[in-house]
């Protein structure tokens, strides 16, 4: 299929908009930071990994913090507003899925459960809570929650990640409904497998790269910039009638459903 612009290039003008991305130092979050910065936005990257800040290009501001901690969330939002004067877009992206989380529920470590709820669910709400206070003053804003294909359907060995990601979908709908009349849109993106440190670390648990790629009708796993492109569209005026809903960016993975494993693609 021919494309009118080079792959990965950014078609939006976000000059003058202020964007905060959690977990923006690596993986999908980094691609989202880069895409917004390339399109002219003032970008704040909030990440627990302060070491990664040195790799960020000039033009992306860094705030160290843990999204499961309300003070850190409040601090990051205040930094964005004090530094750039507003907050137009929040991308709730920081989440964890360590290899040790691939375990059946009866063996699942409760401390890890609490941590995953704290980051992957509560963290999204805490950051949104403080972002919304600013967006309500402005009468506008967009919140994009990064959910997952695992929010929609499930498999063995993911008793925490999937159910908690499913909660991201209801956070999106509930906040979207609550704040629609205040000029604030809330949407989510559910990626399929995307090549990031999170996925690289769990390739073994997911059956290896070839099998993972094969589960996607497009025959490959995705790139972080392909998720970023969807986020930029959803955050743009082109998506002005889109709220309280989710977009799967998954190479068709979701359409395979239960048939993914027994019926691999013919060229596998
Ligand atoms: N990679 C995939 O295939 C995939 C698929 C579906 C959904 N997702 C979702 O996409 C998002 C990004 O995933 P990724 O693959 O880029 O992950 P990643 O592990 O590669 O990067 C996550 C980033 O978040 C940061 N982070 C982790 N915990 C944090 C915390 N408590 N506070 C602040 N920052 C924190 C990390 O330091 C890192 O920079 C997540 O919400 C994930 O669930 C990823």
pLDDT of 224 reads: 98
CB 33 within 8 Å of CB 134:
no
Give residue limits of the domains in the chain.
Answer: 18-191+222-247
- 196 alpha carbon to ligand 1 midpoint, in Å? 8
Q: Of 166, 129, 163, 130, whose CA–CA distance to 147 is shortest?
A: 166
Conformational region of residue 257, where left means phi above 0, alpha means psi within -120 to 50, and beta covers everything else: left
CB 260 within 8 Å of CB 215:
yes
Considering only CA atoms, give the Rg of the chain: 18
Rounded Cα gap, residues 96 and 99, in angstroms: 10
Q: What is the pLDDT averaged over residues 237-254?
A: 97
pLDDT of 205 reads: 76
Residue 161 annotated among the catalytic residues of the structure: yes
* From 5-19, 158-172, 187-201, the region with the lowest mean pLDDT: 5-19
- Dihedral of alpha carbons 170, 173, 176, 178, sign: negative
For the cut 60, the answer to whether the pLDDT of residue 33 exceeds it is yes
Conformational region of residue 30, where left means phi above 0, alpha means psi within -120 to 50, and beta covers everything else: alpha
For the cut 50, the answer to whether the pLDDT of residue 268 exceeds it is no
Task: Please state the φ and ψ torsions of residue 9, each to the nearest 5 degrees.
Answer: -75, 160
What digits encode the pLDDT tens for the residues 65-95? 999 999 999 999 999 999 999 999 999 999 9
What digits encode the pLDDT tens for the residues 123-180? 999 999 999 999 999 999 999 999 999 999 998 899 999 999 999 999 999 999 999 9
Task: Give, for ligand 1, the residue of 196, 225, 253 to mutate: max count of ligand atoms closer than 8 Å to Cβ.
Answer: 196
Q: Name the residue with the closest Cα to ligand 1, atom 42.
A: 95
CB 47 within 8 Å of CB 26:
yes
- 123 alpha carbon to ligand 1 midpoint, in Å? 12
Multiple choice CATH, 18-191+222-247, 3.30.470.20, 3.50.30.10, 3.40.50.720, 1.10.3720.10:
3.40.50.720
């Amino acid at each position: 299929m021919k494309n009118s612009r080079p792959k990965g290039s950014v078609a939006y003008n976000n000059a003058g908009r202020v964007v905060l991305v959690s977990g923006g130092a690596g993986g999908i979050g980094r691609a989202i930071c880069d895409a917004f910065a390339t399109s002219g936005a003032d970008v704040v990257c909030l990440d627990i990994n302060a070491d990664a800040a040195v790799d960020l290009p000039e033009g992306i501001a860094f705030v160290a913090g843990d999204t499961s901690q309300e003070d850190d969330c409040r601090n990051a939002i205040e930094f964005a507003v004090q530094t750039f004067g507003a907050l137009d877009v929040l991308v709730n992206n920081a989440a964890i899925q360590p290899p040790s989380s691939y375990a059946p529920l009866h063996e699942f470590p409760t401390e890890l459960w609490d941590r995953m709820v704290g980051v992957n669910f509560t963290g999204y709400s805490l950051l949104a809570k403080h972002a919304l206070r600013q967006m309500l003053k402005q009468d506008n804003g967009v919140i994009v929650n990064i959910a997952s294909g695992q929010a929609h359907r499930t498999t063995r060995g993911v008793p925490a990640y999937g159910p908690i990601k499913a909660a991201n979908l209801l956070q999106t709908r509930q906040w979207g409904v609550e704040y629609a009349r205040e000029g604030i849109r809330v949407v989510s993106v559910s990626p399929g497998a995307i090549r990031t440190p999170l996925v690289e670390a769990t390739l073994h648990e997911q059956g290896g790269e070839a099998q993972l790629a094969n589960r996607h009708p497009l025959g490959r796993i995705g790139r972080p910039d392909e998720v970023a492109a969807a986020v930029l569209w959803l955050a743009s005026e082109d998506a002005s009638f889109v709220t309280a809903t989710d977009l799967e960016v998954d190479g068709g993975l979701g359409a395979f459903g239960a048939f993914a494993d027994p019926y691999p693609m013919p060229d596998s």
